[in-house]
Amino acid sequence: MQIKKGIPVSPGIAIADALVIDAHDKPVLRRTVLPNRVAAEVDRLKKAIAQSINEIGDLRKQTAAALGEKMADIFSVHARLLADKSLVDQLIQAVQTERVTAEYAVYSTLQAQAQSLLQSDNEYLRERARDFRDVERRVLSHLTGGQDVGLATLDRPAIIFAHDLTPSQTAALDKSRIVALATDAGGRTSHTAILAHALGIPAIVGLEDITSRVNTGDTVIIDGNRGQVVIEPDAAVLMDFRQQQRRQASFVQTLGELRDLPAVTKDGHKIALYANIEFPSEIMAAVENGATAVGLYRTEFQFLASDHEPSEEEQYEQFVEAIRRLKGKPLTIRTLDLGADKISDSLETVKPHAEPNPFLGCRSIRLCLQNLNLFKTQLRAILRASAEGPVRIMFPLISHVMELRQARMILADVREDLDDAGLAYDNKIPVGMMVEVPSAALQAKTFAREVDFFSIGTNDLIQYTVAVDRSNERIASLYSAAHPAVLTLIREVIKAAKRTDIEVSLCGEMASQPEYTILLLGLGLRSFSITPPAIPEIKKIIRSVKLSDCVKVAKKVSTFDSDREVLNYLRDQVSKVIPEVFDGRSIGN
C-alpha cells in the first residue's frame, strides 16, 4: 500500500481501478549489448514498435467510443509519431551504432526530442513534448513486457490518472464511467480542477509523480476530502474508506432534503444562490440542487469542446437551450474568456500568438477586443437569445475603464445591427463585469457607476494579487483566498457595489468552499455563484448562522496578518455550527 498527498479540488471518496492515460517517464539506464546480439535487439525494437502501433489503433477506437473524439485525438497524434520513418530509422541506428539496448535507444532518442520541444518558444511545440513521452512509455512497456495502457477497465467504473488534462479533455470525459480524477499537475482553481468539481466527482491535482507510481488496473482510493491517493490499499484501510463513503452518502442525502428550502440565515436574511456552469447540460443538476439562477456561464467551453469555431447559430442554439432549461430563471452569460490555460484549437478567425506570459497576455476580453468578428458574433447570439428569456451579459477580465467602455460600445453597435435587421432582443438587458483583476477592484467605485452588476472572480483575483499562477502545483501553498490582501479587495468591492446600489455576487471557487461562507456573509455578500454540487452544503451553512454573528467573524478576521490564521479561525467557526462539514476534509487555501 502506498499513500500520496496532493491538492484536493473536489470532495468525496471513490474506490475503483486506476486507468493511467498520460503518464510521466521513468529513467532508463544505459546498457550495451554484445555485437552478436545487435540484430536481435533491432528485431525486438521493431516488434515493440509494431505492437505499439496496433495498440494505439485499438485505443483510439475504444477512447472515441468511451470518452469522445477529443480524447481520442491524442492517439492519432501518437500513431503519426510512430509511423514517421525518420524517427524509426533514428532508433534503429542508435541500437546499431552505439550498441545500446532497444530500451535505452527509445528512452534517450524520444527524451531528446521531447527536451528540444520543451525549449521551444512555441506553446504548441512545447505541448507536443508530452506526446513523445507518452509514445516512449508505450514502446518501453512492450519492450519490458509491462502493463498496457489500456481502456479495457472502462466497462466498469474507473479512476483517471493523467499527468495533466486540458480543460477540453476534462469536458469530454464520459461522466457515467469516470468516478474520480487525479493528476500530476494543476492547482486548486486550474480550469481542469473547476470542471472536475462541476462533474461532482472526487478529484486531486498537484500529485507531482502519481502517474509513475500507479499502473492501470491497480485498485486505488481517491480521498477528495483530504487530497490523498491510496494505491493498492490493504483490507483494513479499504474497509475504513468504505465506511467513510457510506457516512458521506448519508450526509449528502440530508443536504438533498434542503433543496426546496430557501437560503435564509437564522436571523431572516435572504441570500441568493446561483450556479456556475460550463454547458447547458449542467442546468438540471444546478436547479435540482436549489440554484435560483445561473450566475456564471463560461461560454468559452463550447469552443473548447468543439472541433470548429462555433457559428453564431450554434452559439445561439446553446444559449436558447440554457434559457429553456432554466424556465424563467435568469442566465448570466459571460462573454468569451479564452486564452491563458483555455486554449482552443477550434478558433478559425483568430490566430493565437505564442506569448511569454499568457496569463498577462492577450486573453479574455482583450482577445475579443482585438478580434471584433469573433466578439460581435457572440454578442449577436447572446442578444438574439435574450428575446427568449431573462439574460444578463457579463464581460470578463476588465482591467481598464476604457476597456469596459469599448466593450459596451461594440455591444451598442451590435444592437443597432439587430435593430436594422428587425431582430428581437431584450433592450433592457443588464450588463455587468467580472471583478477579477486588482486594478478593477481598486477602482470599483468608478466601475460601479458604469455597470448593472459585479461578479467577483476570486480565482483570477488571487493569482493577480498574490502573483501566483493558479494552475502551478509547485507554488500552490502560496495561492490563498484567505490572504489578507485578497480579503481587503473583496471587502472594498462589496462596499463600492452597495454604495452605488448594484448587485455584487462572487463566482470564484471561494464561494463554493465552506470555510469562507460565514466570512463572505459578514463582509456583506448576499449573492453566491457556486459550482452546482456545492450548493446544498453552502445553503446548509447559511441556514445555520445569524448574520449578526457573521459580521463579528468578519471583523475578527480583519485583525489577522496571515492566511493561515484566517483559515484556522474560519474553519473553527464553521465546525462549531456544522461539525460534519469538515468530517475528514482538509483545509482549503
Residue 60 or 298 having the CB closest to ligand PEP: 298
C-alpha 359/C-alpha 519 separation (Å) is 29
Query: If DSSP codes are grouped into helix, strand and coil, which group holds residue 556?
Result: helix
Q: Which does 508 bind (CB under 5 to 8 A by kind): Mg ion, ligand PEP, none?
A: ligand PEP
Residue 388 or 469 having the CB closest to Mg ion: 469
Closest CA to 160 of 195, 129, 202: 202
180 phi, psi to nearest 5 deg: -165, 165
Hey, which residues does 530 pair with through a beta bridge? 275
Q: Which of 78, 191, 197, 483 is catalytic?
A: 191
Mark whether 197 is an active-site residue: no
The maximal CA–CA distance of the chain, rounded, in angstroms, is 86
User: Cell numbers at residue 369, please?
Assistant: 477586443
Closest CA to 383 of 433, 418, 340, 359: 418
Q: Which residue is nearest to Mg ion (CB)?
A: 460
Residue 218 or 278 having the CB closest to ligand PEP: 278
Residue 158 or 534 having the CB closest to ligand PEP: 534
What CA dihedral angle connects 366, 370, 371 and 375, to 10 degrees?
A: 50
Quote the least distance from Cβ 202 to ligand PEP, whole Å: 20
Residue 353: exposure state from Cβ atoms within 10 A (0-12, 13-18, ≥19): exposed
Q: Which does 514 bind (CB under 5 to 8 A by kind): ligand PEP, Mg ion, none?
A: none
C-alpha 448/C-alpha 430 separation (Å) is 13
Strands 431-435 and 453-456: parallel
Quote the least distance from Cβ 176 to Mg ion, whole Å: 29
Residue 458 or 573 having the CB closest to ligand PEP: 458
C-alpha 110/C-alpha 26 separation (Å) is 13
User: Cell numbers at residue 271, please?
Assistant: 441570500
Contact present, 530 and 512 (Cβ < 8 Å):
yes
Q: Which does 18 bind (CB under 5 to 8 A by kind): Mg ion, ligand PEP, none?
A: none
Amino acid at 279: F
Q: Which does 507 bind (CB under 5 to 8 A by kind): Mg ion, ligand PEP, none?
A: ligand PEP
User: Cell numbers at residue 426, please?
Assistant: 431584450
Contact present, 462 and 481 (Cβ < 8 Å):
yes
Residue 55 or 460 having the CB closest to Mg ion: 460
Quote the least distance from Cβ 190 to ligand PEP, whole Å: 9
Hey, which residues does 250 pair with through a beta bridge? none
Quote the least distance from Cβ 459 to ligand PEP, whole Å: 3
C-alpha 67/C-alpha 153 separation (Å) is 13
Residue 418 or 451 having the CB closest to ligand PEP: 451
Q: Which does 141 bind (CB under 5 to 8 A by kind): Mg ion, ligand PEP, none?
A: none
Residue 170 or 215 having the CB closest to Mg ion: 170
Amino acid at 302: Q
Q: Which residue is nearest to ligand PEP (CB)?
A: 457
Binding site for ligand PEP (CB under 6 A): 194, 296, 298, 337, 436, 457-460, 507-508
Q: Which of 78, 163, 368, 507 is catalytic?
A: 507
User: Cell numbers at residue 73, please?
Assistant: 485525438
Mark whether 507 is an active-site residue: yes
What letter does residue 184 receive in the DSSP assignment?
A: S
Q: Which does 332 bind (CB under 5 to 8 A by kind): ligand PEP, Mg ion, none?
A: none
Contact present, 94 and 109 (Cβ < 8 Å):
yes
Quote the least distance from Cβ 433 to ligand PEP, whole Å: 12
476 phi, psi to nearest 5 deg: -60, -30
Quote the least distance from Cβ 458 to Mg ion, whole Å: 9
Residue 167 or 227 having the CB closest to Mg ion: 167
C-alpha 188/C-alpha 589 separation (Å) is 8
355 phi, psi to nearest 5 deg: -125, 140
Hey, which residues does 2 pair with through a beta bridge? 231
Quote the least distance from Cβ 380 to ligand PEP, whole Å: 23
Residue 70 or 298 having the CB closest to ligand PEP: 298
388 phi, psi to nearest 5 deg: -95, -10
Q: Which does 518 bind (CB under 5 to 8 A by kind): Mg ion, ligand PEP, none?
A: none
Quote the least distance from Cβ 575 to ligand PEP, whole Å: 26
Quote the least distance from Cβ 515 to ligand PEP, whole Å: 17
Q: Which does 298 bind (CB under 5 to 8 A by kind): Mg ion, ligand PEP, none?
A: ligand PEP
Quote the least distance from Cβ 508 to ligand PEP, whole Å: 3
Closest CA to 24 of 207, 198, 150, 167: 207
Q: Give every CB contact of residue 294 below 8 A, 6+ residues apart in sequence.
A: 274, 275, 276, 277, 283, 286, 322, 326, 329, 330, 331, 332
Binding site for Mg ion (CB under 5 A): 436, 457, 460
Contact present, 344 and 303 (Cβ < 8 Å):
yes
Contact present, 326 and 343 (Cβ < 8 Å):
no
Which residues are catalytically annotated? 191, 507
